[in-house]
Amino acid sequence: MRKRWKLILVVITLAGAGALLIPALQGGATYYLTIGEALAKEEAQPGQRFRIAGNVTPGSIVDQPTDFRLSFLMEDEGGQVPVVYHGARPDNLQDGSGVVVEGRFHGETFHAETLMVQCASKYEAAEGAEHPAEIPKGRDR
């Protein structure tokens, strides 16, 4: 009889853990859409939450730091969409930056709840910078 209760307790514990884990994994399984894919899905079923990857269109950033409002155009080969984000401007956001936004469309404008700036894939030393191997020993960096 005790073994049966232990087994029931284990099953209940695993079911509870699964009930908590499944929604967390579903949220993390969201992949990035292109702008064209997101626009097509929004047209078919309005109000969905999307995660879209693209680049900031040069010259389109409008920052209103007193209102914590940032807007810009995001583009990729599938099109262009205006984005509005309420929050602090990321330091590395600039023209041409790769960005990932997560949120919903309101009309033709994408309202981002999350804004992530992708790191550049290439890092180049500043002009005139010494190569680390060329720094004499005993010299502070």
Could you read off the pLDDT of 104-121 as tens digits, one per residue? 999 999 999 999 998 765
Residue 73 lies in a domain: yes
Which CATH number goes with the domain that contains 58? Answer: 2.40.50.140
Domain identity same for 35 and 97: yes
State which residues form the domain around 76: 31-117
**pLDDT score, position 131:** 45
pTM here is: 0.64
Could you read off the pLDDT of 40-94 as tens digits, one per residue? 999 888 989 999 999 999 999 999 988 899 999 999 988 999 999 999 899 899 9
Residue 126 lies in a domain: no
For 41, 76, 93, 97, 106, the CA distances from 55, given in Å and listed in that order, are 20, 6, 10, 5, 20
Residue 80 lies in a domain: yes
**pLDDT score, position 6:** 80
pLDDT at 122 over 70: no
Question: Domains in the chain: how many in total?
Answer: 2
The answer for residues whose C-beta is within 8 angstroms of residue 90's C-beta and 6 or more apart is 115, 116, 117
Domain identity same for 43 and 78: yes
Which amino acid type is present at position 119? C
